[in-house]
Amino acid sequence: MINGVIVPSITFFNNNFEINTELNSILIRHALLNKANAIYLFGTTGEGIFFSDKLNEKIKLLNVSTKINDKIPLLLGAFGNEVDDVIDQIDILAKKFNTLNFFIAPPFSKKLAGEEFKFHFENILGSLTSKNDIFLYHNPEMFTGNEIEPKIVRDLLKFENLKGIKDASNKISNYKAYIELLNENFSVFCGEESRFSFFLQLIPIELRNYAGIVPGIANLSNICSKLYKAALEDNVLELTQHQEQLDDLRNKIYDIKMNEGKVQRGLKYAFLYLYKDVLKTPIEELNILSPPFQRELEDITKTRIEVTINYLLNQKLIFQLYALNKGELYDLKDIISIFSTVDVLIKQGKIKKIAGPLEGQTNTIYRVNFENSQLVFRFRTSKAFQYENIAKEKVLFPLLDGSLYPFSSKLEEKIKEILLSPAGNYHFNKQNPPVIPVGNLIYYDESKKLIPYLFTVQDYIDGISLHKMLEQNIIEDFNLELSTSKFINLFENIGEILGKLHQIKFSSFYEDIYEIGKKTEKTWSEIFHKRLNMEIQEAKKYKVNNIEEMTEFFNENKALIEEENEAVLLHNDFHSKNIIVNDDIGSLKINGIIDFDNWGIGVKAEDFVKIIHWDLEFLNQPELTRAFYHGYNKYHKLDKDFERKIEIYSLFWLLKLTNREAKLKHQTQERKSFVLFPNRLT
């Protein structure tokens, strides 16, 4: 049954109105990657009325689409002014594509009245020789004001191959009447993007999996997949939030300067911009529309679309196909086949399932289930990553199990040897486990020869993030009791893990991990004030508020910074999203710590900043905070000024975040646009 997100594919063609098979192929693969449940070709979004008499071009695009994926449902707009033209079109295409589904609509350039309207559909449905499924398309605005009344739909149910209707009108009465017909044999699709949330909430929850939405924005983004999933789960809060986000995206992506063709102009430019780095032809030569829709986009509109695309990519609201060395585009399966010659990956057996991309800003992350294991693939796809461009775990993991001794006279030599190794792995010995729970580094490759990204393959740690577990529990139970022994023991264990990590100490401070082991006499005060001065200069450059008060605060606490003399290993991103837990009956077990992209060497208080601000202060449970400190104090005796030191590094962290926001705003304003989605500082 066809349901979920049905993507009304835009159509790329040249000046002779011939289908661009290469570009449409990328588009369809992109839509599938972004969770499309079905593809709808030559609908009104796909300029199907213009192509109504171009049968050869339709066949060309159908051949491309079925070659890409012959399992996902395909629908095609079979539009025409005359009944015989529609029947001939469907019968010809049905013989070539026996699983193809069709949308039929009223005439697009003449008005029907009374019984004539009903006969139009009866003649089509009653004359077809094929058994392919047929869906009605109700869109008065595009089809000369012709209204498909609910009574007509009920009368047409006598035709067995009529399987549903798409309603692109904005009439609540129509929604309700069509929904009354909804069942396992008859689907109802909503084509009005601003009404998706409203439409889905009208449907009883047990019937929602028989319904679908037809969003133009799904040519780009996976936001509608999230929206539909929230509807199936009856999560009204998420459903409403996703609808608001969708409405905002439509205003940012579509070319609202002229109503006719606004969707097509915006989507085509946005998609071409998204894949501009792999296009062999300039965007201007590819951005062709049918005559009624053609209009030159203004520069401010282009800039707005470009900024929005960059935001969507950053927030994983667009999953993008990868461009590899030859300029071709690949999805994850293709990439895995490329480096499947790696011995350690061959030993994992065949790939059974791929999940992702998962959450992550620096890396694009997938979980891959092999016959013999579950692994996590992390591709360093962020160009903005500001730290060492290496697989940082390859240096860290030997420190965690003591294979690298920080006070060894040969430490520099061993670190250098590791740094010069562009590919390899690191497995922990069961007799000598790491001081904190982490997964093995199955493989890493920094060469960028197989794919143009640094990547690592690590053990998948079973469980969910503590953040997600708490979020789920709090949503399900607003009066969740967090002061039970179950949670107190968990937070004490979290403190113990951080305490164990900070037991790994060094003879000196280092600015980056390339320096570890080298003879250096840098003090913490020197390193910190160098970083602080850079941020203060950035803040002044972008005119950040209250920078004078911040500077004064750091000066007042200079003595506390200068007294820091113990260099320890830091996670530098220690908070609930990077703590993987498993909820056993009666207890919560920490299965692993993840994401060491920011690890380095510094002072203990730095590692307290995020877990306090993002977790402990948010939860506001004094018992959990005491338990966390109690666990940490088993390994370290904290001095009386420790809380003040946490305040120092908290303010420094917030200053960096503020600068990042200010820089983004400044860059956007330079492009004569505006910050579209400002992130809130926590």
**Sheet hosting strand 587-593, strand order edge to edge:** 464-465, 579-584, 587-593
Who wins on pLDDT, 596 or 359? Answer: 596
**Band of residue 113 on the pLDDT scale cut at 50, 70, 90:** confident
Relative orientation angle of helices 411-419 and 393-400, to the nearest 10 degrees: 140
> How many residues make up the chain in this entry?
682
Beta strand 364-370 with 351-358 is: antiparallel
* 3-state secondary structure at position 30: helix
State the alpha helices, DSSP H only, in 579-641: 609-610, 617-619, 622-633
Task: Assign domain 4-236 to its CATH superfamily.
Answer: Aldolase class I (3.20.20.70)
* pLDDT reported for residue 326: 46
Which contacts (CB < 8 Å, 24+ apart) does range 460-464 have? 460/367, 460/373, 460/374, 460/375, 460/376, 461/437, 461/580, 461/591, 461/592, 461/594, 462/374, 462/580, 462/582, 462/591, 463/580, 463/581, 463/582, 463/589, 463/591, 463/592, 464/580, 464/581
How far apart are the C-alpha atoms of 556 and 571, rounded to whole Å?
Answer: 27
H/E segment holding residue 113: none
**Band of residue 674 on the pLDDT scale cut at 50, 70, 90:** very low
Q: What percent of the chain has pLDDT over 90?
A: 70
> Is 90 exceeded by the pLDDT of residue 356?
no
Residue ranges covered by each domain of the chain: 4-236, 329-459, 464-669
* pLDDT reported for residue 387: 64
**Band of residue 359 on the pLDDT scale cut at 50, 70, 90:** low
Across the chain, what does the average pLDDT equal? 90
**Band of residue 479 on the pLDDT scale cut at 50, 70, 90:** low
* pLDDT reported for residue 681: 28
Task: Say if residues 373 and 458 touch (Cβ distance below 8 Å).
Answer: no
Which residues have C-beta within 8 Å of that of residue 459, sequence separation ≥ 6? 373, 374, 375, 376, 439, 440, 442
* pLDDT reported for residue 484: 87
How far apart are the C-alpha atoms of 669 and 74, rounded to whole Å?
Answer: 42
Who wins on pLDDT, 549 or 667? Answer: 549
* pLDDT reported for residue 627: 97
Relative orientation angle of helices 55-68 and 21-33, to the nearest 10 degrees: 40
Lowest mean pLDDT: which of 85-99, 214-228, 536-550, 627-641?
A: 536-550
Task: Say if residues 634 and 499 touch (Cβ distance below 8 Å).
Answer: yes
Nearest 5°: phi and psi at 322? -90, 140
Give the gyration radius of the chain's Cα atoms: 29
Q: What is the mean pLDDT of residues 634-662?
A: 93
How far apart are the C-alpha atoms of 452 and 297, rounded to whole Å?
Answer: 33
> Is 70 exceeded by the pLDDT of residue 491?
yes
* pLDDT reported for residue 366: 83
- Does domain 464-669 fall into CATH 3.30.70.260? no
State pTM to two decimals: 0.66
* pLDDT reported for residue 667: 59
How far apart are the C-alpha atoms of 61 and 57, rounded to whole Å?
Answer: 6
Q: 4-236 with 464-669: one CATH topology?
A: no
**Band of residue 117 on the pLDDT scale cut at 50, 70, 90:** confident
* pLDDT reported for residue 471: 85
